[in-house]
Structure formats: C-alpha cells, structure tokens
Amino acid sequence: MTTDPQHPIGVFDSGIGGLSVLQALRKELPHERFVYLADQAHAPYGEKSGAFIGQRTHAIADYLLGQHHIKALVVACNTATAAAIHELRAQHPALPLVGVEPALKPALALSHTRHIGVMATRGTVCSDKFARLLGSVQDQAHFEVQACNGLALAIEQSTLPDQAEAAQAQITQLLQTYTQAMGRFGSESGQIDTLVLGCTHYVFVEKDLRQLLGPGVQLVSTGEPVARQTQRLLAAAEMLNPEKTDTAAQPMRLLTTGDLQGLQAAAQRWLGLPPEVCQAVPALLSNPAP
C-alpha cells in the first residue's frame, strides 16, 4: 500500500450516486486529490447478489490500488459497504477505509415524533449489516424501512440525454409509490418527520422529495459524516496532503466501466466538472453476469 500523502483518495460506487459523497469529500478535504470510479457497467448493485457485489468490490479496490496508488478508499455505496466492507478490511488491514451506511443514528438525534423513514436499495435493507444497525436503535424510535427497487437505476438513466425525460417521469412515479407506502409524513404525533436517504443516489432527488413531503420533513444523508471520518482517519495516519493546493487546482479523475457520456453529464450537472476529467476504464474490470 502507498505511504505517500500526496497520492489520491479512491472513491467508488456502482454508478453516479457516490458523486454526492465525492462532493462532500472535496469540501471537507480541499487539498486532496481524488480518483472516482463508477461501476456503471454493473449498476445498480442493489438488486444483485452479495457474492457478485463482493467480486466487484475487490476487483475495483485492487484496480485503484494497483493502477492509481490510492492512499485511502471510500466505498461510497451502501450496498457494497453492507455486502463486502468486512472482507475488504481483512484483505487490506493497513488501508484507511471508509464505508457508508444509512444514517439511522443521526436521524434519531433530529426526529421529534420518533417516527423515521428509511429509503434504501433491497440489497442494503436485506443485509446482515443493516439488520445489526437497525437492531441497535429500533428500541429508540419507530423505523419505517422501504426497499426502493428501480430508483437508483432511474437516477442513473436521468443523466443520459436520450433517456432523461422518461427516467424523470419514472423517478417521480417511484418516489410517490414508495413514500405513500411508508405512511404519513409531517410533524404531528405518529407522522414520519425524518427520512433517511440510505442510498447515495437518492441525494440527487432531494428536490423531488421536498416537493412530495413538504419543508417540515428532515432529509438525512451520509456524505458529510463520511467526509469527516475520512479526514479523521487520514489525520491519525499522518496521511493528509501537505501541499496546500485548493481542490479546484488538483487533478481530478472520474472513471467509468460503463457509459462515458452518462458520467460526463452527471459530473457536469452535480459537480461542475468538465467532460475531460472523465474517462472509460479498460475491460479488465468486467465480470461475468451475476
């Protein structure tokens, strides 16, 4: 593993959702370099097997370590964290490693009605890791957990010009279906007043959720806590970049195993990054179908 503080931090997700975490990382760590990998050829992970997700997670970690000499890795995908981060820690014990999980504990601190909604992929909500997390807090509030099949994929497709309109219509329909299934939202007793966005993709439909749920419902995501934890781990390991160069001037690489145009559109739309920072990665990252 690299010991050079000037080497980049690796970040990966099944697709573009992890860009929401990258956004928070750039704000928290303005002097660091980043390389982001979107495994769009295999997205979304949420409805695939745990064994397949584990294979992808290990292949991507090995690629980022071997080809880009990353000094830390942020698994910016709830599903991959739930399925494989324990194995990744065992395989790379010296690597500063940060995963994401639904922000149930931060939601508890915010909720007044003690009714909390959780939206996540089926892979996340069915995982042992999520079951342990929920079990640790479920005596403190009522949690309404909703698996949101198809939502991450629709958000991915919304960045593609030829699919954007249809994808946005599907996003609207899915959000209506899933929020209605969860129950009543609001600030009155018995209503859900806090909603956990348990997939990094869902941050990009916050505006749509606001329109559905109103201004009184608090939306909780994981980007900022993950960024703070990454900063703490790097500081403890004395691996923060000593060069005080602003992120805007630092090299930024965004990679995809899938549609380059989709990643370019997402990077421009949500991070304000030019197309030239994006590139497709070689087929060596391909796996057999799950």
Catalytic residues: 77, 199
Instruction: Extract the tokens encoding 89.
Output: 């820690």
C-alpha 229, offset from chain centre:
15
User: How far is Cα 69 from Cα 110, in angstroms, rounded to an integer?
Assistant: 39
Measured CA to CA in angstroms, residue 34 lies from 25, 68, 100, 170, 235 at distances of: 9, 10, 17, 32, 16
Alpha helices (H) along 34-103:
50-68, 78-91
Q: By three-state DSSP, how is residue 183 classified?
A: coil
User: DSSP H helical segments within 183-276, as ranges?
Assistant: 206-213, 223-236, 260-266
The region, left, alpha or beta by phi > 0 then psi within -120 to 50, assigned to residue 99 is beta
Q: Would you say 226 and 98 are in contact if contact means Cβ atoms under 8 Å apart?
A: yes
Tokens encoding 94: 């010296």
Distance CA 34, CA 70 (A): 9
Are the CB atoms for 85 and 93 separated by under 8 Å? no
d(CA 95, CA 19): 21
Sign of CA dihedral 121, 125, 126, 129: positive
Provide the 10 A C-beta neighbour count for residue 66. 9
